[in-house]
């Protein structure tokens, strides 16, 4: 529903602007009255052929992975995945830019490939991972370039930094995954006080979309065939506020964002409710109260404060993981009252002596 709504929402509200910008881009024209564009003229732009070379190299890598690894993806599925990402990059990107909420292609990717190659669980999950991460990386690239545009950073330096970070990230992430897998292999199925919800969700997705297949789950005559109507419902609902705005001009029509409302219930098995409540509370404090009552503070510190908070959380998790690996625990206190409640750090120890 959210994916279909994203496409129709963007076409209805921003179709004319997209078409105008596309024609300007084809003619290599920029909006010269934009102060940011004028200032960025001081830097040489990155030629289009550089991105084309990156794309060609990565396609070759993906084809090699599909041919000579246990992922066993058909070669044509690589190009299908790129095509799906290319189609949805603009609508999902616009929704992300407006709302800060990024829609995923994980379910749609599973659905499409599960219909085409039913029963091939590993290939289906590999296709899902490729599609999901391609859209995420594409939007991350755009977001970084947009930040560099406003911060007046040389585009060449931005691309080099992104390429360097991506290569380093790929190596480090794989090493950490292998390390974590070796530590958790004896824990995933024996811990009574901890459930690997992400692991279970991924495993269940392989069964539903790969082993069983979407045709038997959602096809005509299946138990859940009625859910297919939500593709049509999602595509049709954005028409209502759009027509309402045509009949009665008002700002509130623009706040009725069907893709966001449709994706509001997205969760994973075992998801804590604070994953919904905490963001709403923080958004209200900073994006409403402080924005309206303390605008100068918001303009000067809000972005920096948000970045510092993200970095602080990441650093704390890293420290806890390292301490837990060496069996370090903290004494009971107000924030950690009872080790039997599952809050104590002992429960995060990654050794076989699972408490």
| Tens-digit pLDDT profile for residues 315-324 | 998 888 788 7
Pair (206, 344) in one structural domain:
no
- Residue whose pair of structure tokens reads 């995420």 in the numeric block: 136
**What pTM does this model have?**
0.77
Residue 269 lies in a domain: no
Identify whether residues 211 and 284 lie together within a single domain: no
Tell me, yes or no, whether 184 lies in a domain.
yes
- pLDDT at residue 350, rounded to an integer: 41
In a domain, 245, yes or no: no
Q: What is the pLDDT of residue 194?
A: 60
Residues 35 and 140 in one domain: yes
Cβ-count burial of 72 within 10 angstroms (0-12 exposed, 13-18 middle, 19+ buried)?
middle
Residues 210 and 80 in one domain: yes
- For residue 111, give Cα distances in angstroms to 89, 98, 105, 217, 307: 18, 27, 10, 10, 35
Same domain, 212 and 297: no
- Among residues 22, 128, 53, 46, which one has the least CA distance to residue 85? 128
333 SS3 class: strand
> Which tokens hold the place of 339?
């080790």
| pLDDT given at position 20 | 86
How far is residue 247 CA from its own chain's centroid? 35
| Domain hosting residue 72, numbered range | 31-218
pLDDT value, residue 355: 37
Q: State which residues of the chain have pLDDT below 70.
A: 28-33, 184-197, 264-273, 275, 329-355
Q: Residues 199, 283: one domain?
A: no
Which of 194, 218, 242 is the endpoint of a domain? Answer: 218
Report whether 61 contacts 78 (CB < 8 A).
Answer: no
157 is a domain residue: yes
Please tell me whether residues 177 and 280 are part of one structural domain.
no
Instruction: Name the DSSP class of 169.
Output: H
Q: How many domains does the chain have?
A: 2
Same domain? For 185 and 42 the reply is yes
**pLDDT score for 269:** 53
- Based on the fold, state whether residues 293 and 169 are members of the same structural domain: no
Domain boundary among 173, 189, 218: 218
Q: What confidence score (pLDDT) does residue 346 get?
A: 42
| 244 Cβ contact partners less than 8 Å away, ≥ 6 residues apart | 253
């Amino acid at each position: 529903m959210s994916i279909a709504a994203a496409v129709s929402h963007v076409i209805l509200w921003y179709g004319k602007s997209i078409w105008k910008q596309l024609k300007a881009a084809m003619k290599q024209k920029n909006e010269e009255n934009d102060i940011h564009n004028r200032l960025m003229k001081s830097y040489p732009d990155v030629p289009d052929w550089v991105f084309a070379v990156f794309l060609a190299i990565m396609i070759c890598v993906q084809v090699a992975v599909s041919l000579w690894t246990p992922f066993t993806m058909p070669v044509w599925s690589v190009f299908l995945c790129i095509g799906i990402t290319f189609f949805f990059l603009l609508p999902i990107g616009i929704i992300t830019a407006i709302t800060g909420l990024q829609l995923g292609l994980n379910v749609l990717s599973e659905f499409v490939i599960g219909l085409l190659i039913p029963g091939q669980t590993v290939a289906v999950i590999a296709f899902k991972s490729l599609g999901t991460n391609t859209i995420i990386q594409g939007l991350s690239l755009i977001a970084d370039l947009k930040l560099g545009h406003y911060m007046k950073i040389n585009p060449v330096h931005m691309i080099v930094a992104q390429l360097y970070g991506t290569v380093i990230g790929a190596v480090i992430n794989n090493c950490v995954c292998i390390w974590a897998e070796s530590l958790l292999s004896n824990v995933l199925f024996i811990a009574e006080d901890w459930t690997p919800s992400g692991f279970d969700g991924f495993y269940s997705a392989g069964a539903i979309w790969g082993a069983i297949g979407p045709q038997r789950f959602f096809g005509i005559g299946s138990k859940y065939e009625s859910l297919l109507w939500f593709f049509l419902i999602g595509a049709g609902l954005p028409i209502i506020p759009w027509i309402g705005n045509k009949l009665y001009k008002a700002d509130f029509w623009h706040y009725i964002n069907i893709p966001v409302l449709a994706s509001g219930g997205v969760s994973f098995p075992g998801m804590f409710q604070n994953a919904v409540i905490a963001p709403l509370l923080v958004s209200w404090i900073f994006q409403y109260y402080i924005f309206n009552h303390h605008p100068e503070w918001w303009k000067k510190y809000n972005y920096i404060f948000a970045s510092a908070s993200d970095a602080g959380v990441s650093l704390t998790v890293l420290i806890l993981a390292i301490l837990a690996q060496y069996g370090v625990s903290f004494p009971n206190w107000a924030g950690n009252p009872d080790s039997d409640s599952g809050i104590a750090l002992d429960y995060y120890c990654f050794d076989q002596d699972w408490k």
